[in-house]
Chain A
Amino acid sequence: MVLFTKPEWLQHVASAHGVSAARRRRVIDDPEGATAAGAAAPSKVPLFSIDVQPLAAGADAEAARVATAGQDGRVMLWRLGALLADARRVAAGDGPANASDVASAIPPGALLAVLSSPHQGAANVVRWRGDGAMLATGGDDGTVMLHVRASAAGSAAVPFGSGLPADLSETWRCCRVLRGHDSDVLDVCFSPCGAMLASCSVDNSVCVWAVDERSASQTSTVSPLVARLSGHQGMVKGVAWDPTGRFLASQSDDRSVVLWRTDHWGQIERRLVDEFASAVTEANLRSWFMRLAWSPSGAELVATNSYQKKCHVAPLYRRSGDFRNPIEFVGHRAPVVSVRWSSCLYSRSPSPPYEGPNRLYFCVALGSKDRGLTVWRADHKRPFFSLADVFDDDVQDLSWSADGRSLVACSTDGSAFLVHFEPDELGYVVPPAVQQAELRREMALLSGAAVPDAGRDGWAPSEVLMRADVFTPSALALQGKQREVLARLQAPQRESAGDRPRSAPAIASATPERSRAASASRPNGETATASSVMSAAKAQREERRDGKRRIIPVALDAPTVTMAGAAVPNGHAERMTPTATAIAPIQSASAAAAPDARPGVETDIATPSGAPVRAVKTKRKRRLAPADAADGARSAATTTPSLATTEEAAPGERAANAAAEAATTALPLLLPRASDATAKLVRVVRVAQPSITLEAQADAATHRHHTRLHLARDGVCVWTQVLAGRVVGLECSEADAVVWVATDDACVQVLSLRSGLRLHPPLALDAEVAWMGADRHRWMVLTRDAAFYVYEMQAPTADGYGMGVALRLRRSGSARFLLHQGVWRSPGRVPVFRWHEARDAPLLVSGNGHAYLHAESLRAWLRLADDHYSDSEFFPRYDGSKAIDVGRLDAAAPLRLEVLQEAAAAAARMTTATPILRAAPGEDALPTLAHLETLCNAACALRDAAELQYWLGNLVLRLTTEADEARLVEIGDALLGAPAASEGKEWQPTILGIDKRALLRDTLLPIITTNASLEGVVSAYSQALAMLPPAEGDSGGGVDDTARRRLS
């Protein structure tokens, strides 16, 4: 028997207060008719979207969350089980429970959460990611927001003043805001693997965003916008991602459905117009959604709002029929506005074989403005079920539950409707294994490939690059894995929402400054919550501004999920990496403390596209090549909000990301592109007079395959060169008077700085260039597959390849460590390459400020400076007065450890890095010691004797203070050479040219003497040293025996 319900309690409730002073409502209720939030209107808030959370196979379907989005801008999460329970109650003949107001009518546990960040204006759409761990919403404010579950601790789950029960069990918070649409966002859709999101808007465009965790945690300066598709001439009202990943479908008021290619964004595969020629798109100034949908295998596409032969129909296009001659679903009396396919396969009988009359079929539901909905078998011309006049107003959206048995719908009338089918009505849902096999078979047919065997697990990297979100046979398996992981993550969550251990993070992850400030403001260590009135009143400070009080508030404990907007004004907004468990968001260094990259200051900043661009000293001085004068206003790469490419990630990698959200160990396959190939690229070679600027711009006429490169001296164009392909990187060396130009066909051209003359045949590298850096005569190329090459420029030689210059390979190898999350790029930082002469090796400062030296004999990079030790006393303190910057390394600055340290420290301010090595109570010295040890080793690696002596002295001083005898003895023995000698090993009497024993005797022992408890150590070494000839390497065995006896 079909169960159904339209629960009264499921609505976006406006506060329901019964204050009798109606005459005073003028002021207090909905002044100026602003939003519906305060209106105690008799009609409910219209619901514009509904979506049921996808669940792992085998999970309890009733535990799924149902998200509703309403005109009030809010998104609420309900428990599907509560709706089903309501349906059963209706079926049993019980009337609705009467309650005085809506809020108290909500059954316990039915309302799980209200998303904490509402849209300004209506929320038009809400969609779950395929793994059910993330929500995307789009609203009239032109934004798309991504939401994840956060820990409930310390956060207000219920919006203030909503009148809802205050004991909601979950907190969902916004983790990212995607800005780019100019107007209302009407529909969104996650890509099959969940790494990308498409959104469409009344601004006639479709935007594609990278929303995987990696892009979220990468620099905030890299825009998540992958592509903006502008091919519609009307509002775009529905968007659907092809499950095979090849197409993105969108439907618009311009009476067309467009199939966009996902391997070349912007290219249109097909434009379907015939069925929509007479479609009506609005009535009485009211328009409606056109939420089209693909079948789960991608074999069919059902569009909305077609009007033919005086019937409102939904056309079903078959991929096998090249999207021609659609079947039509006829029957609705008004435009069809929403189509949703059940993700399940059904059969007439519960058991195989699934053929003949028992063959498998999909189900699709249509919602219409005729206030009704229909459920169809995909290949039938008559509906299975028709539910007429379900609502009092238009249907807006539909969604199926993961088990394929429940269908929910929502309406402008503000209510939601659930219908639940029995297997003998809709069909038996086939087991997941059968469904997987069937989907795989169908998808393989679609892609034209042979039925894939299980052994093949992905595309070759080059293919991956070409095909962004392409379905691969392994993707299904990975999706399955994703779901398993999810099931594990969800299971404990549901139980322990309330009593989850209060995670350390709130304070622990704050920067030291912040936590100190916070604890200082709360002398008792008491949590400043809304209830601790006295502490808040005492702790807040006041100043004056314009004659008014200015109150400095008390920061509350609970951290904020920070916004990682695409266009955050400061450019370095903090962000968190949302995890499926979302234990607690990370509060990072406060934005105020981070130094701004101000336009007037000469500094290296990363453009939105990530292109390394040196900002010019002043705006006034930045003049452009005449060719682009007209374009001047937006030509500066530093200010152009260019479309950034986020790399097209491989499906396998992406799924792995999602699968291992909690423990991200999987490495991405590729480094991000050097810059967006479509953007104009500007490189300021020299700021001082005469200034030199290089500018590459794709040719406007031919667009993508042809780039013009200009060099301007003091704003005057000196030469122009044309290049095949799009320029993705520019680097220049004044010393050698050459320009290197990397193009998207993985080639690097060497041109003359003076004239633009081609000096060398293009180097075709293994992969596209991710980055290039120059240090005098050396030039480093880093490819996207994280291999590096360092070339040296020479005058043409007899065996050289070039006409004007000869290249010599100085070093090559792999730098795959850069693929680790957060290493390569960081907000506001560009990497720096230097050649370390003493070591004759490349030194790379990555975007996060860490310095690495390549050790060829070890086939590894050595990390010499990092930001892990910000709790150390010796970690450089950044007081804001000195402009310490990675950029300092760019100049002819000596490659001193001190400089690297400062760069790392400065970078640490900019990133959200939290001190990894923290001082535990009672162990304050540990981070400092760790840091000093690291510094000593780094000084050795850099062959810097002065630094070594300095840091070793400090290390010994700290060890002495701590009375750490074991480590002192280890250092002492190493300098004395005693154990080595006694064991017959080779021992060097000097380190970096310093006499070890002299160092021990003259510098270190006097330090150790300061701690009386280490008297034994001092006397043992003093005696041992006294018995040794100072400058000679060999030492008598008896001596160190004595020493060792005395020590032990």
Chain B
Amino acid sequence: MAAVDILSVKVNNNPAPFLSALSFEIAYEVRESLADDIEWRVVYVGSAESEAHDQELDAVWLPANQLGRFAFVLEVPAPQPERVPPTDAVGVTIVLLTCRYRGREFLRVGYYVNNEYPPEVLAEESARVRQRLLQSGATEEEAEAQAAATVDIQPPRWDRITRHILAEEPRVTRFPCAFDRPAGNKGGVANGADAALTTPAAS
């Protein structure tokens, strides 16, 4: 049994401009009091292709020394645009809420995030694309087709991007964690290889 479990997450400020702060209202339950604080972190995955673009937006400590249910609002700054690859400015990416105890992650909540330009911005851009194509000698049809397909702007116009967190579809992963119990006593930790040997019919 996990000493700390998550009860709910409410995503505030959603949808919102890309450059605005992210805000999560998190409710959690402490089932066994812990000697040390738990650490909540918010990580913005800049690009799915590489973890190099992951940004830790903020990390905060929370006490877990009292049993009960608690709630807090975690407001963290927006991701830094310069650390996001320009090609990944729009599209689907991920924001992660993780909870760690003594450096060990035991809970992860992932949300898909959809970044896109509002229609009016895209309309402006497609007009500009069409103009540019026509000037460079493309045919009317080609220019029209290109313009209609415009969803991205290079270089990105960060101030115009809308961020939409798919709040209704959290992906929750819980990791085994010994918390304050000595790791020797099983009391809570099962490792995969071990489990495969010992759990009946573990596949």
A570 contacts the other chain (CB 8 A): yes
Cβ of A35 and Cβ of B108 under 8 Å apart? no
Contact B68 A24, beta carbon cutoff 8 Å: no
Inter-subunit contact A569/B180 (CB<8 Å): yes
For window 152-203 of B, CB contacts with A under 8 Å fall at 166, 169-177, 180-181, 185-190, 192, 195-203
Complex interface bits, A499-526 against B, C-beta within 8 A gives 1, otherwise 0: 0000000000000000000000000000
Contact B94 A182 (CB under 8 A): no
In contact, A162 and B172 (Cβ under 8 angstroms): yes
Residue in B37, B74, B187 whose beta carbon sits within 8 Å of that of A550 in the complex: B37
Q: A916 interface residue, CB < 8 Å from B?
A: no
How many CB-defined contacts (below 8 Å) exist between A and B? 273
B65 interfacial contact with A, CB 8 Å:
yes
Binds A, one of B3-11, B14-22, B122-130, B141-149: B3-11
A548 at the interface (CB under 8 A from B): yes
Chain A residues, CB < 8 A from B33 = 570, 573, 591-592
Q: Which of A530-538, A676-684, A810-818, A995-1003 lines the interface with chain B?
A: A530-538
CA distance A560 to B30 in the complex (A): 8
A364 CB-CB contact with B under 8 Å: no
A residues 547-580 touching B (CB-CB < 8 Å): 548-560, 562-563, 565, 567-570, 573-574
Q: Are B8 and A23 in contact (CB under 8 A)?
A: no
Tell which of A13-21, A354-362, A400-408, A1033-1041 binds the partner: A13-21
Residues of B with C-beta under 8 A to A212: none
CB distance from A192 to the nearest CB of B (A): 26
Q: How long is the Cα–Cα vector from A124 to B198 in the complex, in angstroms?
A: 11
Contact A184 B201 (CB under 8 A): no
Q: Which residue of A lies closest to B111 (CB)?
A: A28
- Which B-chain residue is minimally distant from A19 (CB atoms)? B112
Contact B62 A558 (CB under 8 A): no
- From B30, B31, B108, contact of A31 by CB (8 A): B108
Asked if A145 is an interface residue, CB under 8 A from chain B, the answer is yes
For the complex, give the distance between the alpha carbons of A289 and B201 in Å.
Answer: 9
A27 close to B (CB within 8 Å):
yes
Docked Cα-Cα span, A26 to B200, in Å, equals 29
| Distance of A896 from chain B, by nearest CB (Å) | 34
In the bound assembly, the distance between CA atoms of A549 and B76 in angstroms comes to 11
Q: Which of A113-121, A439-447, A854-862 faces chain B?
A: A113-121
Task: Determine whether B48 belongs to the interface, using a CB cutoff of 8 Å to chain A.
Answer: yes
Question: Of the candidates A124, A162, A545, which one forms a contact with B199 in the assembled complex, judged by CB atoms under 8 Å apart?
Answer: A124
Cα-based distance from A124 to B201 in the complex (angstroms) = 10
Count A-side interface residues using an 8 Å CB cutoff.
100
Q: Mark A1-41, 1 if CB is under 8 A from B, else 0.
A: 00000000000000101011101101111111111011000
Set of chain A residues within 8 Å of B200, measured between Cβ atoms = 48, 124, 186, 237, 286-289, 337, 396
CA of A159 to CA of B63 in the docked complex: distance in angstroms? 22
Measured CB to CB, the closest approach of chain A to B44, in angstroms, equals 11
Q: Which of B6, B93, B109 contacts A24 (CB 8 A)?
A: B93
Contact between B201 and A28, CB atoms less than 8 A apart = no
The answer to whether A553 and B70 have CB atoms under 8 Å apart is yes
Question: Whole-angstrom distance between the alpha carbons of A807 and B177 in the complex?
Answer: 58
User: Which one, A81-89, A135-143, A755-763, A792-800, is touching chain B?
Assistant: A135-143
Q: B27 to A122, Cβ gap below 8 A?
A: no
Given contacts A37-B173, A46-B201, A536-B72, contact A160 B6 (CB under 8 A): yes
Number of interface residues of B (CB under 8 A): 76
Q: Which residue of A lies closest to B192 (CB)?
A: A33
Known A120-B174, A186-B200; contact A140-B108, beta-carbon cutoff 8 A: no
Chain A 171-206, CB-CB to B under 8 Å as 1, else 0, gives 000100101011110100000000000000011000
Q: Are B92 and A24 in contact (CB under 8 A)?
A: yes
B96 within 8 A of partner (CB): yes
CA–CA, A35 and B192, complex, Å: 9
Which residues of the other chain, A, contact B180 by a CB distance below 8 angstroms?
569
Q: Are B199 and A591 in touch, CB under 8 angstroms?
A: no
Set A35, A140, A531, A560: member contacting B68, Cβ < 8 A: A560
Residues of A within 8 A of B138 (CB): none
* Cα–Cα, bound, A159→B173 (Å): 11
Chain B CB within 8 A of A587 CB = yes
A871 at the interface (CB under 8 A from B): no
In the bound complex, residues from chain B placing their C-beta under 8 Å from that of A21 are 48, 92, 112
Q: Kindly provide the distance from the CB of B64 to the nearest chain A CB, expressed in whole angstroms.
A: 10
Given contacts A15-B171, A533-B25, A567-B187, contact A140 B199 (CB under 8 A): yes
Chain B, Cβ-Cβ closest to A531: B10
Q: Bound complex: CA of A587 vs CA of B66, how far in Å?
A: 11
Instruction: For residue A340, give the distance in angstroms from its CB to the closest CB of chain B.
Output: 16
* B134 interfacial contact with A, CB 8 Å: no
Grouping DSSP codes into helix (H, G, I), strand (E, B) and loop, the A interface class, with mixed when no group exceeds half, is: loop
Verify if A590 is at the interface (C-beta below 8 Å from B).
Answer: yes
Query: How far apart are the CA atoms of A288 and B172 in the complex, in Å?
Result: 29
State whether the Cβ of B69 lies closer than 8 Å to any Cβ in chain A: yes
Inter-chain contact B171/A24, CB cutoff 8 Å:
no
Inter-subunit contact A120/B2 (CB<8 Å): yes
B52 proximal to A (CB < 8 A):
no
Identify the closest chain B residue to A394 (Cβ).
B201
- Report Cα–Cα, A950/B169, bound state, in Å: 66
* Alpha-carbon distance A921/B173, docked complex (angstroms): 46
**A184 partner residues in chain B, CB cutoff 8 A:** 186, 190, 195, 198-199
CB atoms of A528 and B166 under 8 A apart? no
Determine if A809 is an interface residue (Cβ-Cβ < 8 Å).
no
**A536-B71 in contact (CB<8A):** yes
Are B71 and A528 in touch, CB under 8 angstroms? yes
Q: Which B residues lie within 8 Å of A262 (CB)?
A: none
How far is it, in angstroms, between the C-alpha of A28 and the C-alpha of B31 when the chains are bound? 26
Q: Is A650 located at the chain interface by the 8 A CB criterion?
A: no
For chain B residues 30-74, which have a beta carbon within 8 Å of chain A?
A: 30-33, 35, 37, 39, 45, 48, 51, 58-63, 65-74
Q: How far is A143 from B8 in the complex, measured between Cα atoms in Å? A: 25
In the complex, B79 has a CB within 8 A of chain A = no
Which residues of chain A from 1000 to 1020 have a CB within 8 Å of any chain B CB?
Answer: none
Given known A-B contacts A24-B94, A28-B94, A560-B67, A551 and B74 have beta carbons under 8 A apart: yes
Q: Could you tell me the distance between the alpha carbons of A926 and B29 in the complex, rounded to whole angstroms?
A: 36
The answer to whether A38 touches B201, judged by C-beta atoms less than 8 angstroms apart, is no
Judging by beta carbons under 8 Å apart, are B71 and A38 in contact? no
Nearest chain A CB to B41's CB is how many angstroms away?
A: 10
Contact call A119/B1, Cβ cutoff below 8 A: yes
Bound Cα distance A26, B30 (Å): 29
Closest to B58 in A: A549
A530 touches B25 (CB 8 A): yes
Interface residues of B (CB under 8 A from A): 1-2, 5-10, 12, 25, 27-33, 35, 37, 39, 45, 48, 51, 58-63, 65-75, 92-94, 96, 108-110, 112, 166, 169-177, 180-181, 185-190, 192, 195-203
25 contacts between A and B (CB under 8 A): A19-B169, A24-B112, A28-B94, A31-B173, A34-B175, A38-B172, A121-B176, A141-B187, A141-B190, A142-B187, A145-B1, A159-B172, A161-B109, A179-B181, A183-B198, A286-B203, A287-B200, A537-B25, A549-B60, A553-B62, A560-B68, A563-B32, A591-B33, A591-B65, A592-B33
Closest 7 CB pairs of A and B: A161-B172, A121-B190, A142-B186, A28-B110, A553-B70, A553-B72, A550-B61
Query: Could you list 19 further interchain pairs (A-B, Cβ under 8 angstroms) beyond the known A143-B1, A179-B187, A558-B69?
Result: A21-B92, A24-B93, A28-B94, A29-B110, A117-B1, A140-B198, A141-B189, A143-B187, A156-B27, A161-B6, A530-B71, A531-B10, A540-B73, A550-B37, A550-B60, A555-B66, A556-B69, A562-B31, A562-B67
